[in-house]
Amino acid sequence: MFRDFAVHDFDALRFVTNQEIARVYADATVRAFSVYDRYDDADTAVATLTLADGALGLASYTRHNPLGYDVRMELFGSRDSVVVGWDDQAPLRSLEPNGPPLHPAPHAMFHDRFADAYAAEIATFLDVARGRMSSPSTVDDALEALRVAVACNLSLRERRPVDLSEIP
């Protein structure tokens, strides 16, 4: 779970906050899809992420949302609260009596949710491959996101917080 797709969120959190992730505590379970048990994986997971400056992040993951594909980042600070990834197709259902209705066609998969981002990514990749620009994605960024995922797996296995300094 953490190396599969949470790794992208770890990378995004580092980018958005301009902070390194210093410590993690993770937990996970299999709630609906027993196939993940066979591979020592999970279909539902959470992680508490402590950033280098002491800020906290909470991440939650599930491999299945019956209402559609949902991914967003919510940031709560001392001066503002914002959300990235919230749009009219977010597969959320309000329980408030006068809440907004669920969109009739919420995002079904990450392919359609991120179609514009994938097109931009391919265009950038082609520019890099053609020598028109250097890659905006560094090996160091990828390695740091992977280290966070590995730390989450260690935390899950050992049932304890893991400092990123423990992960080479």
* Of 34-43, 57-66, 84-93, 140-149, highest mean pLDDT: 140-149
In the predicted model, is pLDDT for residue 85 greater than 90? no
In the predicted model, is pLDDT for residue 100 greater than 90? no
Tell me, what's the pLDDT at 64? 84
pTM, entire model: 0.87
Give the integer Cα–Cα distance in Å for 100 and 93: 8
pLDDT digits (tens, 9 = 90+) for 108-157: 887 888 889 899 999 999 999 999 999 998 999 999 999 999 999 999 99
Chain-centre distance for alpha carbon 119: 20
pLDDT digits (tens, 9 = 90+) for 13-39: 999 999 999 999 999 999 989 999 999
Tell me, what's the pLDDT at 56? 95
What number is the average pLDDT over the span 76-94? 86
Phi-psi region of 23 (alpha: psi -120 to 50; beta: other; left: phi over 0): beta
Give the integer Cα–Cα distance in Å for 57 and 50: 6
- Buried-state track 68-105, b at ≥16 Cβ within 10 A, e below 16: bbbbeeeeeeeeeeeeeeeeebbbbeeeeeeeeeebee
Q: What percent of the chain has pLDDT over 90?
A: 65
Cα diameter, the chain? 56
In the predicted model, is pLDDT for residue 86 greater than 90? no
